[in-house]
Amino acid sequence: MEVEGAVNAQLEKQGYALGRKGVWGGPQKTRYYRPDGIMVEAIPCMRERQDGLVYDWNISGKGWSLRPPLKPKPHCEGCGDWHDTKAQVLACKRERARKQVQWEAEMAERRNQKGSDKEKALKAKNEDLEARLKKLEELVSGKAV
């Protein structure tokens, strides 16, 4: 890691700085740290609140910070966020899996419901047709009117 640090320092001195100094004229990037401690180079995402306060969405929205976190948090592939403990990550993933299964069951039920609604409509249509056919037969045979 020390070698990597020295190489980075050398590159930085030469102006490469992982694109931070805008050697190629691009927007200036800032070094952030994700809650799990992984370093990210990104362009600050400045936004303005209605009251005029300007803030960086990378920090207030994404939860990144300018300094490495003292206590890195585990990243959760389930929700894409960070939780305080690995147990919470597991719980989050389990909860999401449970919700997914529940949602799929609901969808399947809804499909079945739709199927039976269609069946009911067809049956009603069929009964209506039968009634009209009966009336027609009566008319033809001269029983009615």
Q: What distance in Å separates the CA atoms of residue 116 and residue 111, rounded to the nearest whole number?
A: 9
Least distance to Zn ion, CB of residue 42, Å: 22
17 binds Zn ion (CB under 5 A): no
Q: How many CB atoms lie within 10 A of CB 135?
A: 11
76 binds Zn ion (CB under 5 A): yes
From 42, 45, 78, 91, residue interacting with Zn ion (rule: CB under 5 A): 78
Provide the mask over 83-102, with x wherever binding to Zn ion is found by CB under 5 A and - wherever it is not.
Answer: ---------x----------
- Of 30 and 91, the one with the shorter C-beta distance to Zn ion is 91
35 binds Zn ion (CB under 5 A): no
- Of 79 and 136, the one with the shorter C-beta distance to Zn ion is 79
Least distance to Zn ion, CB of residue 18, Å: 29
Least distance to Zn ion, CB of residue 61, Å: 17
| Pick from 79, 103, 104, 102: nearest CA to 90 | 79
Q: Phi and psi of 32, rounded to 5°?
A: -115, 165
- Rounded to the nearest angstrom, the gap between the alpha carbon of residue 8 and the centroid of all alpha carbons in its chain is 35
> What torsion, rounded to 10 degrees, do the Cα atoms 66, 72, 78, 81 define?
-30
- Of 20 and 91, the one with the shorter C-beta distance to Zn ion is 91
Size of the site for Zn ion (CB under 5 A): 4
Q: What distance in Å separates the CA atoms of residue 35 and residue 95, rounded to the nearest whole number?
A: 22
**CA Rg value for the chain:** 33
- Of 12 and 84, the one with the shorter C-beta distance to Zn ion is 84
- Cβ neighbours of residue 108 closer than 8 Å, sequence gap 6 or more: none
Positions that interact with Zn ion (CB under 5 A)? 76, 78-79, 92
